[in-house]
A and B are shown apart, each in its own frame.
Chain A
Amino acid sequence: MTTTELSPEQATTAAELVNASVRLAGKRIFTDVELTVGRGQFVAVLGPNGAGKSTLMRALLGLLPLQSGSVTVLGRPPAQARAAIGYLPQRHAFDSSTRIRGVDLVRLGLDGTRWGIPVALTTATRRRRKAESARIGEVIETVGATGYAHRAIGELSGGEQQRLLIAQALVRNPQLLILDEPLDSLDLPNQASVAALLRRICTSERVSVLLVAHDVNPLLGYLDQVIYMAGGHATSGSVEEVITSAKLSELYGTPIEVLRTTDGRLVVVGQPEAPHHHGDRHAHDHHEHDQP
């Protein structure tokens, strides 16, 4: 399989936001956000609920116009780069009775948007199907899902489902992978292994990965960069630069303390609590929910 989008491959940056501001229904979501994601970089978008992380993703996908500033994805306007973006929206786990195999889910990554009946009548289409099957096997191998790809996705664990969804996005050879809270609802070991998998994909497939996360801890040691959004603003840089008492206090406009536990985990203390919509979904979330 070769990728037909040549210029997205040649672009020097995966995504770039300059002075970007978004307003939705008269409400300011964020102002003057600056971000540069380099090729093959692994970048996390952090921040409390309602800080505009999902809005930022929508802007990068070209689903939402900016109020001011500019956004480029793979060197072009986002809407034109969509074919080269693999996007994993935030979602519920598959229902336990979903009777579809993992491989079928991954195959839909290739042909899910093709119309017509999938019957291979000519040798050319048969050859193409064979090549597609090979590619499907390859990405399933890459995410380490070969052992369970033929089982019903509904019966798989959250981590296994997430790996298959990553394979589904990878199968089209994207240049940029955008994932909205992929670690949400996974247990801690699975959060760590999915983070490690994404790091490996950045390197081996030369894909840039932009990931929205609630908690930076499972990602520590893997990230090239973080962008932290709060109070309508954002700041980006390495984890060491951004997640500091000084930077976050400035961003929130209120004193914030960043503590490091003996095992290296980061705990942010003193941030104003955003209103909770999710109940106890993030109950294990040290980064977000430690009380002042």
Chain B
Amino acid sequence: MSPSLSLNPVDDFNALTTYPFMVNALEAGTIIAVLAAVVGWYMVLRRQSFAGHTLSVMAFPGAAGAALAGLPTALGYYLACGAAAVFMRGGRSGSGLGSPGRGYGTETATIATVQTVGLAAGFLFLSLNNAVLGGTETLLFGTFLGVSRGQVLTLLLVAIAALAMVAAATRPLLLETIDPEGARARGLPVAALDLGFLLVLALAVAATSQITGALLVFALLVAPPAAAQQLTMRPGLGLVLSVVFALAVVWLGLGVAYFSIWPVGFYVTSFAFALYLAARLWHTTARRRHRGD
């Protein structure tokens, strides 16, 4: 069934782009790679991976709720993720002057609660709908090869909106990420930045998980930025590396899966994992070498 690899790059590229579904997959993959890599870079630096994970789980109640209400599934994703972001932000304890640091303790508990409630709501929607939810597997593991033209266009618009918001706030968001008390003292709208970032993260997760599935969002949202942060501490270079890694993982994953019988999600995740491992290894040996000097 699957096309064979000719080892001639031009022929292979032509083979890859013969079918419209593959072109759509490559375009959608490229868009979400850039989006997930940039938003994920901040998420990893902000230690909000748990929040990101919870948002990705929201795809389940989102899809189930949309099916129940007769709304488009994509809309369900965005609504559920957005609502979860607002709830999670509302749970953060307001730390004033003299109470240093973020309220990580309370935050983790709040996020865990949001996650549980989300899953419970999803389960409820599912039973109310007589357990009819088209493509549970798709929901969890993605539909890389079933992306439509319309989806690509929507993704592009969402990505542009989310990236524009991040671009406008690159430095204030960085300052607020590593030193929230300092940012507050300098008059930055810390609460707005917090909520704004969670909403952008919600957008990115909702967009990405439609393609990669709820369980594989992480392959793109965490591994490339985390690997980039192992390799460089420079913010600008880190962001660029993160995007390059995410693109490499997606393109490689799609390319290899095309010539194989195993699913895209498996390859994308495996490549992301391998990349992260390699970066960790490089970081550790570089440090050991540095100490040896």
Contacts and interface: CB of A to CB of B under 8 A. Distances in A.
Interface of A: 54, 57-58, 61, 63, 82, 87-92, 94-95, 98-101, 104-105, 108, 111-118, 152-153, 165, 168, 180
B11 interface: no
A90 B175 contact: no
Interface in B167-217: 167-172, 174-175, 178-179, 181-188
Contact of B174 (A58, A101, A112): A112
Contact of B229 (A82, A94, A99): A99
Contact of B183 (A63, A94, A112, A115): A112
B153 interface: no
Contacts of B236: 118
Contacts of A116: 167-168, 170
Pick the 6 closest A-B CB pairs, nearest first: A112-B175, A91-B100, A54-B98, A89-B181, A92-B101, A87-B185
B97 A89 contact: yes
B24 to A, nearest CB: 30
Nearest to A54: B98
A114 B170 CA distance: 9
A99 B172 CA distance: 17
Given A54-B98, A100-B178, A113-B175, A118 B170 contact: yes
Nearest to B168: A115
B233 interface: yes
Interface residues of B, number: 31
Given A92-B101, A168-B182, 4 more contacts: A101-B233, A108-B179, A111-B171, A115-B172
B178 A91 contact: no
A118 B166 CA distance: 12
Contact of A90 (B47, B98, B179, B235): B98
B184 A113 contact: no
Contacts of B182: 88-89, 91, 112, 165, 168
B169 A115 contact: yes
B234 interface: yes
A89 B185 contact: yes
A82 B97 contact: no
B187 A118 contact: no
13 contacts: A61-B185, A63-B97, A82-B187, A90-B181, A91-B100, A104-B235, A108-B171, A112-B172, A113-B175, A113-B186, A115-B169, A117-B167, A118-B171
B45 interface: yes
Interface in B227-279: 229-230, 233-236, 238
B133 to A, nearest CB: 39
Contacts of B175: 108, 112-113
A150 B174 CA distance: 17
B188 to A, nearest CB: 6
B235 A100 contact: yes
A158 B72 CA distance: 53
Contact of B187 (A58, A99, A105, A113): A113
Nearest to B100: A91
A108 B175 CA distance: 6
Centre residue among A90, A99, A117, A168 by max chain B CB count within 10 A = A99
- Tell me which of A82, A100, A101, A116 has the highest count of chain B C-beta atoms within 10 A of its own C-beta: A100
Given A61-B185, A92-B101, A105 B172 contact: no
B167 A89 contact: no
B97 A113 contact: no
A57 B167 CA distance: 34
Nearest to A53: B98
A99 B233 contact: yes
Given A91-B179, A115-B168, A116-B167, A108 B233 contact: no
A115 B171 contact: yes
A91 B233 contact: no
B235 A105 contact: no
A116 B168 CA distance: 4
Nearest to A85: B185
A91 B183 CA distance: 12
Most buried by B among A87, A89, A90, A91: A89
Contacts of A168: 182
Most chain-A CB neighbours within 10 Å: which of B170, B179, B229? B179
B237 to A, nearest CB: 11
A111 B184 CA distance: 15
A82 B169 CA distance: 22
Interface string B68-98: 0000000000000000000000000000011
Given A113-B175, A116-B168, A92 B188 contact: no
Contact of B97 (A58, A94, A152): A58
A234 to B, nearest CB: 17
A88 B182 CA distance: 7
Contacts of B235: 100, 104
A89 B184 contact: yes
A58 to B, nearest CB: 6
A105 B178 contact: yes
B50 to A, nearest CB: 15
Contacts of A58: 97
